[in-house]
Structure 1
């Protein structure tokens, strides 16, 4: 269960920090999921802050990708979690939109935790899909992964996040818009501009679908 509180499973701070400093940057979805999987294996409860520390500040991509992937995993079925993750993504995306260099979250968000075993199990479930996706990733059209296109991706991510709360009325329906955000995050991380284009098309399709289904009747 996602809960608010201090991380009760945190191990020795010195060893933990040393491990993160020595970690190579994630180069694909498998690398990122492995980092989170190992975090869930080490700790009984994993906080948002722990995940932020684990992935580091190497690029903006993981900050969009990780919450979206968590929502798309079996954990996404927890009531209220998709909306909470959409709020986290929105907070990151707003800062990216306005050109922030270091992303920030309020303390009450940073302290939100999830059971480590449940997180690890979710990442293990997503790993085969991650391996398949990583086969197609490569740096191309890199100019589409730089400003002002990064800001365009952030703006679309904010719009998509607005569709998540009403979609919670339909089980797992928020997976589609979160998939678009995950593509944006992955494209920025892999410097794959073609994936940025695909993410943009998926985003616009998701926004239109939500409008027609929930608002257009």
Structure 2
């Protein structure tokens, strides 16, 4: 995956880009946010989907986890087919959230972002480049596929959001160790959802 010079390299930078996308707007669309992080930024888009899913006031809106899952599926599907830019259909790109809720969610995430950025860095890079990147893409797509079902299992959508956030941050920061932790967390989350639905 080729990096653009405008790509965020940590979580705080991505949050700043999201904040800028909502300037002077009553409603902030998916397209607005995507434009702010870059149309070639596959990693930041996955991180963004995870952040929005777990952000208070935003991720709790019915349907938001499902839309974020669709964005991940469409985005990473294009990555697997080696597209160099991200395309989303209008019915997804024009979905919007209130600016006030988005900014409150971003503000809440600032402190965790500073903490996480201190503990991430370039480690085991081979796990997030080349074949490793495609393996992560497939895992993220599997998480995204079950996100609609997670809306009926309390707190599970937050787990999926955290998993996507971890994978996205691993790609952004080129942190293979974080990718391993994200995979472990994903297995636990999916197992919890399957057990809840089966019970």
Shared fold per TM-score greater than 0.5: yes
Task: Say whether 1:62 aligns with 2:44.
Answer: yes
Task: Say which SS state the counterpart of residue 204 (structure 1) adopts.
Answer: helix
Match of 1:40 in 2: 22
Task: Provide the rounded CA distance (Å) in 2 between the counterparts of 1:123 and 1:171.
Answer: 22
Asked if the contact 1:97–1:152 (Cα under 8 Å) also holds between the matched residues in 2, the reply is no
Task: Say whether 1:191 aligns with 2:174.
Answer: yes
Asked if the contact 1:77–1:171 (Cα under 8 Å) also holds between the matched residues in 2, the reply is no
Task: Say whether 1:27 aligns with 2:9.
Answer: yes
TM-score by length of 2: 0.90
Which of 131, 136, 147 aligns to 2:119? It is 136
TM-score by length of 1: 0.83
Q: Superposed, which structure 2 residues align to 1:77-88 within 5 Å?
A: 77-88=60-71
Q: CA RMSD in A?
A: 1.6
Asked if the contact 2:153–2:197 (Cα under 8 Å) also holds between the matched residues in 1, the reply is no
Task: Say which SS state the counterpart of residue 96 (structure 2) adopts.
Answer: strand
Structure 1 residues 46, 93: CA separation in 2 closer, same or farther (over 3 Å shift)? Answer: same
Match of 1:52 in 2: 34
Task: Say whether 1:205 aligns with 2:188.
Answer: yes
Match of 1:90 in 2: 73
Unaligned runs of 5+ in 1: 1-22
Shift of 1:40: 2.1
Shift of 1:202: 1.3
Match of 1:182 in 2: 165
The structure with the larger Rg is: 1
Listed one character per residue, the Cα deviations across residues 136-192 of structure 1 (whole Å, up to 9, x for unaligned) are 011111111112111111111111112221221134321102211111110000011
Task: Say which SS state the counterpart of residue 59 (structure 2) adopts.
Answer: helix
Asked if the contact 2:40–2:84 (Cα under 8 Å) also holds between the matched residues in 1, the reply is no
Unaligned runs of 5+ in 2: none
Listed one character per residue, the Cα deviations across residues 18-52 of structure 1 (whole Å, up to 9, x for unaligned) are xxxxx954221011111112322432221111111
Task: Say which SS state the counterpart of residue 42 (structure 1) adopts.
Answer: coil
